[in-house]
Amino acid sequence: MMKRITTPLTTEVISTLNCGEQVLLSGIIYTARDSAHKRLTDSIKKGEEIPFNLQGQIIYYVGPTPARPGQVIGSAGPTTSTRMDEYAPLLMEHGLKGMIGKGKRNESVRKSIQAHQAVYFAAVGGAAALISQSIISAKVLAYPELGPEAIYQLEVKDFPVTVVNDVYGRDMYEEGIAKYKI
Partner 1 sequence: MRELDKEIVVSTISRLCLEANTNLPLDVAKAINHAKDNEVSACGRDVLTQISRNIDIAREQHMPLCQDTGAAVFFVELGRDVHLNFDLEEAINEGVRDGYTQGYLRKSMVRDPLKRVNTNDNTPAIIYLKSVAGEKLKVTFAPKGGGTENMSTLKLLMPYAGEEAVKEFIIDTVKQAGPNPCPPVIVGVGIGGTFEKAAYLAKEALLRPFDIVHSDPYYANMEQELLERINALGIGPMGLGGRTTALRVLINVFPCHIASLPVAVNMQCHCARHLEHEI
Q: How far is CA 105 from the centre of its chain?
A: 12
Residues paired with 159 in a beta bridge? 25
Q: Which of 18, 26, 75, 114 binds partner 1 (CB under 8 A)?
A: 75
129 binds partner 1 (CB under 8 A): yes
Q: Is 127 in the site for partner 1 (CB under 8 A)?
A: yes
Mark residues 18-57: x for contact with partner 1 by CB under 8 A, - for none: --x-x-----------------------------------
| From candidates 51, 56, 95, 103, binder to partner 1 by CB under 8 A | 103
Pairwise CA distance, residues 37 & 115, whole Å? 20
d(CA 26, CA 23): 10
Which element (helix H / strand E) includes 37? Answer: helix 34-46
CA 53 vs CA 130, 152, 157, 182: distances in Å: 29, 14, 21, 46
Which SS3 state, helix, strand or coil, does residue 120 take?
Answer: strand
Q: Which stretch binds partner 1 (CB under 8 A): 39-47, 48-56, 85-93, 121-129?
A: 121-129
Among 9-17, 45-53, 70-78, 110-118, the segment contacting partner 1 (CB under 8 A): 70-78
Are residues 79 and 63 in contact, defined by beta-carbon separation less than 8 angstroms? yes
Closest to 102 (Cα-Cα) out of 75, 84, 86: 84
Which residue in 44, 50, 72, 124 binds partner 1 (CB under 8 A)?
A: 124
Which among 121, 144, 156, 135 has a CA at the least distance from the CA of 75? Answer: 135
Smallest gap from residue 91 Cβ to partner 1 (A): 21
Residue 136 interacts with partner 1 (CB under 8 A): yes or no:
no
How far apart are CB 28 and partner 1 at their closest, in Å?
Answer: 20
Residues in contact with partner 1 by the rule CB under 8 A? 20, 22, 62-68, 74-77, 79-80, 82, 102-104, 122, 124-133, 147-148, 160, 162, 164, 172-173, 175-182
